[in-house]
């Protein structure tokens, strides 16, 4: 006995249940092509035109089918099965349509984008992953009460960054949000990115890093410096220049790698970009995030990602918008914090803006619009770096803060200087 035959049999024996079935959204489209779809369609027509449901005998004679006894208590499960069955049909049809739309490898990226949109729509069908809720319902009230009590107990903190003022006021990096570190070339964006990754790992979080402008070895050496600083102190840290020049004894390097393996195995995955033939796309980033399910993912940096087919130039505003929207969507769909690095635009360089704001992000304002937090960086000397939070969708912005900056030793700590909120140009 199929689900369709059971539902039609139930309607014939209990016509009053048809209203509940229609209220659940069951239409003839939920039935596959064949006699049961035609029977259900006829039942709806007779109910609409004559305010009556045909008898079991009339249905059997008209469509040459056999009805059977079905208990009314089976209605909820029958509705659920029919809804999921329809969802599966739509799922397979979406895949077939995407394959037809692609027409070949050249159109694959665009077809995958359309497929993702359809998958998002299907994820909301039948109440799955419900995105809109009653703000005044008991369920939402209980959820808000739990969140508020967690905040009172100090348990609502996010992933620590190592920037003391940022962590104490903003609460670190939070899941389902997109964070942007913005600066001109050579200021230290990659160092800050790796600092955030290190602090996340040290605090027990799982991370994935996409170092799009560095090899695996270059990334590892920088991480070795920061990790050794945190584990052994600045004086005992493995200096980055010594590592890259081969001046650290193999014994020290092996010792550090052993400690990191023992304490943090499985907490940090790094994309080995140099070994790959093709650049990273948003789809590939999402696939890696889905596979490893990290708390924090970081893309260093967004302008080096590959855009959709036919829109590979990162200077193009539409390409940047697609990339930015993709990263933000990954954070929300996979319940993780997603960070990216971004360059400043020519206008900021021309006007010598010291700590650029979101309108100074290279590639247009798409990144700034998607970002939940934008951290602006600059420095005046080799020892200090300045940062400010120039956008914070969920709280206050932070004015200029000076930090001791030692890329060679992994040192980064805020100085005693009072932070300034002045716009320094």
Q: Say if residue 41's pLDDT is above 90.
A: yes
Pairwise CA distance, residues 345 & 342, whole Å:
10
Which carries the bigger pLDDT value, residue 354 or residue 212? Answer: 354
Distances (CA, A) of 41 to 25, 38, 55: 14, 5, 14
> What is the pLDDT, as a whole number, of residue 119?
77
> What is the pLDDT, as a whole number, of residue 301?
78
CB 128: neighbour CB atoms within 10 A?
11
> What is the pLDDT, as a whole number, of residue 249?
95
Pairwise CA distance, residues 341 & 189, whole Å:
7
Q: Say if residue 120's pLDDT is above 80.
A: no
Query: The tokens of 270 are what?
Result: 């790094």
Q: Kindly give the interhelix angle for 317-333 and 282-292, rounded to the nearest 10 degrees.
A: 10
Q: Whole-number mean pLDDT of the chain?
A: 87
Which carries the bigger pLDDT value, residue 1 or residue 86? Answer: 86
Percent of the chain at pLDDT exceeding 90: 51
pLDDT tens per residue across span 151-160: 777 666 799 9
Query: How many degrees, rounded to 5, is the angle at CA 270 between CA 264 and CA 274?
Result: 150
How much is the CA Rg of the chain, to the nearest whole Å?
Answer: 29
Give the ranges where 124-264 is alpha helix by DSSP (H): 138-152, 164-170, 189-202, 216-232, 240-244, 250-264
103 half-sphere exposure, CB direction, 13 A CA radius: 4
pLDDT band at 1, cuts 50/70/90? confident
Q: Please say whether the beta carbons of 183 and 189 come within 8 A.
A: yes
Q: Say if residue 126's pLDDT is above 70.
A: no
Does the N-terminal peptide bond of residue 361 adopt cis geometry, omega within 30 degrees of 0? no
> What is the pLDDT, as a whole number, of residue 241?
94
Please indicate, yes or no, whether the overall pTM of this predicted structure exceeds 0.85.
no
Question: Which part of the chain is CATH 1.10.860?
Answer: 3-124
Q: Please say whether the beta carbons of 184 and 344 come within 8 A.
A: yes
pLDDT tens per residue across span 307-325: 765 454 455 677 888 889 9
Would the CA dihedral through 132, 134, 135, 139 be positive or negative? negative
> What is the pLDDT, as a whole number, of residue 425?
45
pLDDT tens per residue across span 249-274: 999 999 999 999 999 999 999 998 77
Question: Which part of the chain is CATH 3.40.50.300?
Answer: 158-414
What average pLDDT score do residues 83-105 get? 86
Distances (CA, A) of 296 to 173, 206, 341: 8, 7, 14
Q: Report the CATH fold assignment for 3-124.
A: DNAb Helicase; Chain A (1.10.860)
Number of H helices, E strands in the chain: 16, 9
Q: Which CATH number fits domain 158-414: 3.40.50.300, 3.40.50.9100, 3.40.630.30, 3.40.50.10240?
A: 3.40.50.300
């Amino acid at each position: 006995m199929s689900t369709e035959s059971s539902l039609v049999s139930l309607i014939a024996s209990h016509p009053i249940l048809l209203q509940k079935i229609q209220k659940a959204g069951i239409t003839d489209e939920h039935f596959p092509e064949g006699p049961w779809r035609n029977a259900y369609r006829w039942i709806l027509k007779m109910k609409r035109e004559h305010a009556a449901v045909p008898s079991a005998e009339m249905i059997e004679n008209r469509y040459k089918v056999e009805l059977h006894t079905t208990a009314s208590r089976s209605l909820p499960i029958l509705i659920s099965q029919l809804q999921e069955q329809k969802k599966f049909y739509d799922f397979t049809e979406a895949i077939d349509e995407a394959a037809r739309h692609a027409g070949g490898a050249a159109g694959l990226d665009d077809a995958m984008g359309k497929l993702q949109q359809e998958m998002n729509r299907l994820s909301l069908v039948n109440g799955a992953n419900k995105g809109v809720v009653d703000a005044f319902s008991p369920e939402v009230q209980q959820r808000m009460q739990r969140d508020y009590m967690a905040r009172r107990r100090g348990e609502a903190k996010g992933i620590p960054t190592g920037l003391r003022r940022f962590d104490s006021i903003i609460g670190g990096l939070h899941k389902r949000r997109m964070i942007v570190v913005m600066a001109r070339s050579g200021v230290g964006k990659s160092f800050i990115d790796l600092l955030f990754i290190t602090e996340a790992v040290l605090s027990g979080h799982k991370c994935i890093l996409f170092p799009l402008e560095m090899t695996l070895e270059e990334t590892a050496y920088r991480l070795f410096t920061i990790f050794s600083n945190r584990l052994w102190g600045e004086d005992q840290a493995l200096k980055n220049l010594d590592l890259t020049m081969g001046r650290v004894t193999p014994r020290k390097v092996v010792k550090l790698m052993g400690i990191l393996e023992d304490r943090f195995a499985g907490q940090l995955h790094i994309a080995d970009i140099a070994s790959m033939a093709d650049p990273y796309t948003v789809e590939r980033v999402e696939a890696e995030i889905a596979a490893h399910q990290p708390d924090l993912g970081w893309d260093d940096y967004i302008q080096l990602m590959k855009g959709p087919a036919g829109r590979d130039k990162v200077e193009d505003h539409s390409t940047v918008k697609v990339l930015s929207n993709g990263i933000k969507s990954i954070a929300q769909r996979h319940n993780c914090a997603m960070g990216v690095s971004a360059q400043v635009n020519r206008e900021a360089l021309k006007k010598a803006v010291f700590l650029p704001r979101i309108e100074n992000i290279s590639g247009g304002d798409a990144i700034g619009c998607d970002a939940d937090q934008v951290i602006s960086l600059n420095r005046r000397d080799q020892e200090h770096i300045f940062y400010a939070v120039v956008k914070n969708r969920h709280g206050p912005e932070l004015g200029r803060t000076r930090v001791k900056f030692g890329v060679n030793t992994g040192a980064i700590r805020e100085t005693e200087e009072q932070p300034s909120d002045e716009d320094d140009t």
